[in-house]
Chains A and B, each alone.
Chain A
Amino acid sequence: MEIPYTYKARPDTGLYNAKVGIWLFLASEIMLFGALFSAYILLRVTAPAGFWPDLALAWPRGLLNIPIGTFNTAVLITSSVTVVLAWASLKMNNFARFRVYMVMTVVCALAFLGIKSFEYNDKFSHYVVRLKDGKSLTGHIEVDGRHPRFWNFDDQWSVAKLTEKKIEKIKVEVDPPRDINGHVKKHEGHGSDAHPAQEVAVSDIESMGSYTPATHPFFAVYFLITALHGLHVLVGALVLAYFAFPGAKMWKSNPEQFINRIEVGGLFWHFVDLVWIFLFPVVYLL
Chain B
Amino acid sequence: MQTTASHAHTSATDSAHGHAHHEPGFFGKYIFSTDHKMIGIQYGVSALLFLLFGFFLILAMRYQLAKPGTAIPLVGPLLEKILGKDMAAGGVMGGDLYNSFGAMHGTIMVFLAIVPVLFGAFGNYVTPLQIGAPDMVFPRLNMASFHCYFLGGVVMFASFFTPGGAARSGWTSYSPLASVTDLVNRFDGQTYWLIGMVLLITSSLLGSVNFIATIIQLRCRGMSWMRMPFFVWAQFVTGFLLLLAFPPLEAAGLMQLMDNLFGSSFFLPQGLVVDGKELGVSGGGSPLLWQHLFWFLGHPEVYVLILPAIGIVAEVISNNIRKPLWGYRSMVYSVMSIGFLSFIVWAHHMYLTGMGTKVATFFQTTTMMISIPSVIILTALFISLWGGSIRFNSASLFALSFLPMFGIGGLTGLPLGFNASDIFLHDSYYVIGHFHYVVAPGTMFAVFAGVYFWFPKITGRHMNELLGKLHWAGSIFFMNCVFAPMFIQGFKGMSRRMSDGGTTYFGGDVAMGGDPGVLKLNNMILWSAIGLGISQIPFIINFFSSIFSGKRVASDNPWQATTLDWATPTPPPHGNFVGEPVAYRGPYEYSVPGAKSDFSPQSEKP
Q: Which residues of A contact B (CB under 8 A)?
A: 1-5, 10, 13, 15, 17, 20-21, 24-25, 27-29, 31-36, 39, 42-43, 46-48, 51-52, 152-155, 212-217, 219-221, 224, 228
Contact = CB atoms under 8 A, between A and B. Distances in A.
A214 B259 CA distance: 8
B135 A46 contact: no
8 contacts: A5-B218, A15-B216, A20-B217, A32-B251, A35-B293, A48-B270, A214-B262, A224-B254
Contacts of A43: 266, 284-286, 289
Interface SS of chain B: helix, strand, loop or mixed?
A: helix
Nearest to B19: A1
A13 B216 contact: yes
A235 B486 CA distance: 50
A17 B138 CA distance: 8
A48 B280 CA distance: 17
Contacts of B258: 213, 220, 224
B265 A220 contact: yes
Contacts of B263: 152-153, 212-214
B160 interface: no
B314 to A, nearest CB: 25
A25 B209 contact: yes
Nearest to B209: A24
Given A1-B135, A3-B139, A5-B217, A32 B247 contact: yes
A268 B16 CA distance: 36
Given A21-B141, A28-B246, A216-B284, 16 more contacts: A1-B16, A1-B135, A3-B134, A4-B218, A20-B216, A21-B137, A27-B244, A31-B243, A31-B247, A34-B248, A43-B266, A48-B270, A213-B258, A214-B262, A214-B264, A220-B265
Contacts of A216: 282, 284
A23 to B, nearest CB: 9
Interface string B36-50: 000000000000000
Contacts of B280: 154-155
A285 B225 CA distance: 47
B362 to A, nearest CB: 17
B227 interface: no
Interface residues of B, number: 49
Nearest to B261: A213
Given A35-B252, A214-B262, A217-B266, A17 B217 contact: yes
A137 B258 CA distance: 26
Given A47-B284, A217-B284, A39 B135 contact: no
A47 B151 CA distance: 38
B453 interface: no
Nearest to B20: A1
Given A1-B19, A32-B247, A21 B284 contact: no
B105 interface: no
B445 interface: no
Contacts of B293: 35, 39
B212 interface: yes
B243 A28 contact: yes
A220 B264 contact: yes
Given A20-B217, A39-B255, A228-B254, A217 B248 contact: no
Interface string B263-290: 1111000100000000011101110110
A24 B212 contact: yes
B213 A20 contact: yes
Contacts, number: 140
Contacts of B213: 17, 20-21, 24
B251 A13 contact: no
B403 interface: no
Contact of B209 (A2, A21, A32): A21
A28 B209 contact: yes
Contacts of A42: 286, 288-289, 292
Given A24-B212, A31-B244, A154 B284 contact: no
A222 to B, nearest CB: 11
B286 A46 contact: yes
A2 B137 CA distance: 10
A4 B577 CA distance: 14
B270 A51 contact: yes
A48 B271 CA distance: 11
A20 B215 CA distance: 11
B262 A212 contact: yes
Nearest to A16: B217
A213 B266 CA distance: 9
Contacts of A21: 137-138, 141, 209-210, 213
A231 to B, nearest CB: 11
B295 interface: no
Contacts of B193: none
B237 interface: no
Nearest to A1: B575
B200 to A, nearest CB: 14
Q: Which of A2, A3, A152, A215 has the most CB of B within 10 A?
A: A3
B301 to A, nearest CB: 14
Contacts of A212: 262-263
B296 interface: yes
Contact of B250 (A1, A13, A20, A32): A32
B134 A1 contact: yes
B284 A214 contact: no
Nearest to A4: B218
B49 to A, nearest CB: 28
B574 interface: yes
B217 to A, nearest CB: 5
Nearest to A46: B286
B347 interface: no
B205 interface: yes
Contacts of A20: 137, 212-213, 216-217
Nearest to A15: B217
Contacts of B141: 21
Interface string B571-598: 0001100000000000000000000000
Q: Which of A1, A33, A219, A224 has the most CB of B within 10 A?
A: A1
Q: Which of B19, B255, B288 has the most CB of A within 10 A?
A: B255
Interface string B204-225: 0100111011001110000000
A215 B262 CA distance: 10
Contacts of B285: 43, 217, 220
A25 B263 CA distance: 31
A281 B497 CA distance: 45
Contacts of B244: 27-28, 31
A162 B562 CA distance: 79
Interface string B1-26: 00000000000000010011000000
Contacts of B20: 1
Given A27-B244, A35-B247, A220-B266, A48 B134 contact: no
Contacts of B251: 32-33, 35-36, 39
> Shortest 3 CB-CB distances between A and B: which pairs?
A1-B575, A35-B248, A213-B264
Given A1-B16, A39-B289, A220-B258, A214 B282 contact: yes
B262 A213 contact: yes
A228 B141 CA distance: 22
Contacts of A39: 251-252, 255, 266, 289, 293
A248 B537 CA distance: 56
A217 B218 contact: no
A13 B205 CA distance: 22
Contact of B282 (A28, A29, A154): A154
Contacts of B245: 31
Interface in B232-260: 243-248, 250-252, 254-255, 258
A20 to B, nearest CB: 4
Contact of B248 (A17, A31, A215): A31
A125 to B, nearest CB: 17
A4 B212 CA distance: 15
